[in-house]
């Protein structure tokens, strides 16, 4: 069995595992990586970009090296190779947990329990929940579903197709480091610079593929493309912009605007403002359904691209 077939079977099994099981409640590998990265931060932190770059190199490079060693160890066994890929995909992909959290908030809002929705929102994103009413929470959830479809699903599949298990683990490591130290707080403005920039680079291809697939799979493909072209570049994030704009156009809603993170207020541009309406609670389920379709299409697209690039040699006999 060729390397491409091993990867294809493993990736499909891993995504199926995520769909059926979601994330483990205890002992998640990403949480273990986060603890290791935090320990490394404790040893390396200085208010300097160079030390932050070293921290990023140690943590992300360690994840890639672990993936490479594991891949080499199981190479003689096709079954073990498939199992390793499946385990890696299941560990780094978070589509089902994303959907569950979003729908739990949606159910609370639908029942009129805004306080319960506010209490649950930090499980999904870093917004200040007390500053949001029901419509603001719904908008935050839809934006988080859009952005995390790229970060937690499509981006990982892109790098897995490109570089196998090392690519899967490396992408998730970079994305996790960005969430930990990449924000612009006084402590991390310089130390987290390398992690944030590397995350921008690593997330670039997955974000564009997510935007394309959201347009293809959404109820309004032309609206998605129109919003992407008109508004994506106005977003402060080079990767969240295309994804959120495409989701906004596909769903026919307005995203963006004023938001608050950690007591810091940001006034972001409105995406799909000319054609969209305000987000409503039922749009959460619509966004989740679109996210799931995008994830499945991403699996097929990335596997097809890998097979096409590598040709018969990579497929084996």
Task: Report pTM.
Answer: 0.94
Contact (Cβ atoms closer than 8 angstroms) between residue 137 and residue 114: yes
Given a cut of 70, whether residue 262 has pLDDT beyond it is: no
Number of continuous H segments (helices) and E segments (strands) in the chain:
12, 2
Given a cut of 70, whether residue 317 has pLDDT beyond it is: no
In this prediction, residue 214 carries a pLDDT of 98
In this prediction, residue 130 carries a pLDDT of 86
Q: What is the dihedral of CA 241, 247, 251, 252, to 10 degrees?
A: 20
Q: What is the dihedral of CA 115, 116, 120, 125, to 10 degrees?
A: -40
In this prediction, residue 257 carries a pLDDT of 87
Q: What is the dihedral of CA 214, 146, 303, 22, to 10 degrees?
A: -130
In whole angstroms, give the CA distance from residue 231 to residue 63: 35
For residue 295, the enclosing domain spans 3-315
DSSP run (H or E) holding 90: helix 78-92
Give per-residue pLDDT as tens, 1-59.
789 999 999 999 999 999 998 887 778 899 999 999 999 999 999 999 999 999 999 99
What is the overall mean pLDDT for the chain? Answer: 94
Contact (Cβ atoms closer than 8 angstroms) between residue 177 and residue 169: no
In this prediction, residue 316 carries a pLDDT of 59
Q: Which residue has the tokens 């060693």?
A: 69
In this prediction, residue 313 carries a pLDDT of 61
Give per-residue pLDDT as tens, 224-255.
999 999 999 999 999 999 999 999 999 999 99
Contact (Cβ atoms closer than 8 angstroms) between residue 235 and residue 245: yes
In this prediction, residue 263 carries a pLDDT of 65
* Residues recorded for the chain: 317
Beta strands at 264-271 and 255-261: parallel, antiparallel or unpaired = antiparallel
Q: What percent of the chain has pLDDT over 90?
A: 85
Give per-residue pLDDT as tens, 146-170.
999 999 999 999 999 999 999 999 9
Which residue would you say has higher pLDDT here, 17 or 314?
A: 17
Grade residue 315 by pLDDT with cuts at 50, 70 and 90.
low
Number of domains in the chain: 1
């Amino acid at each position: 069995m060729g390397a491409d077939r091993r990867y294809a079977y493993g990736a499909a099994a891993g995504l199926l595992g995520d769909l059926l099981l979601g994330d483990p409640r205890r002992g998640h590998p990403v949480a273990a990586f986060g603890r290791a990265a935090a320990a490394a931060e404790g040893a390396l932190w200085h208010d300097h970009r160079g030390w932050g770059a070293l921290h990023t190199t140690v943590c992300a490079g360690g994840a890639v090296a672990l993936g490479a060693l594991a891949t080499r160890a199981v190479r003689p066994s096709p079954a073990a190779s498939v199992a390793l890929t499946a385990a890696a995909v299941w560990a780094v992909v978070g589509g089902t947990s994303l959907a569950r959290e979003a729908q739990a908030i949606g159910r609370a809002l639908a029942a009129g329990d805004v306080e319960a929705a506010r209490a649950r929102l930090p499980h999904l994103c870093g917004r200040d929940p007390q500053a949001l009413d029901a419509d603001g929470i719904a908008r935050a959830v839809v934006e988080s579903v859009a952005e995390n479809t790229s970060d937690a699903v499509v981006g990982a599949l892109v790098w897995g197709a490109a570089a196998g298990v090392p690519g899967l683990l490396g992408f998730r490591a970079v994305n996790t480091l960005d969430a930990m130290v990449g924000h612009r707080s006084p402590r991390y403005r310089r130390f987290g610079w390398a992690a944030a920039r590397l995350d921008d680079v690593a997330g670039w291809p997955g974000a564009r593929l997510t935007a394309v697939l959201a347009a293809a799979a959404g109820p309004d493909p032309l609206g998605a493309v129109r919003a992407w072209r008109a508004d994506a570049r106005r977003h402060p994030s080079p990767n969240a912009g295309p994804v959120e704009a495409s989701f906004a156009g596909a769903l026919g809603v307005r995203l963006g605007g004023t938001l608050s993170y950690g007591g810091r207020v940001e006034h972001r541009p409105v995406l799909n403002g000319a054609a969209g309406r305000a987000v409503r609670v039922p749009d959460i389920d619509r966004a989740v359904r679109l996210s799931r379709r995008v994830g499945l299409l991403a699996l097929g697209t990335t596997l097809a691209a890998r097979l096409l690039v590598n040709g018969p040699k990579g497929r084996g006999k």
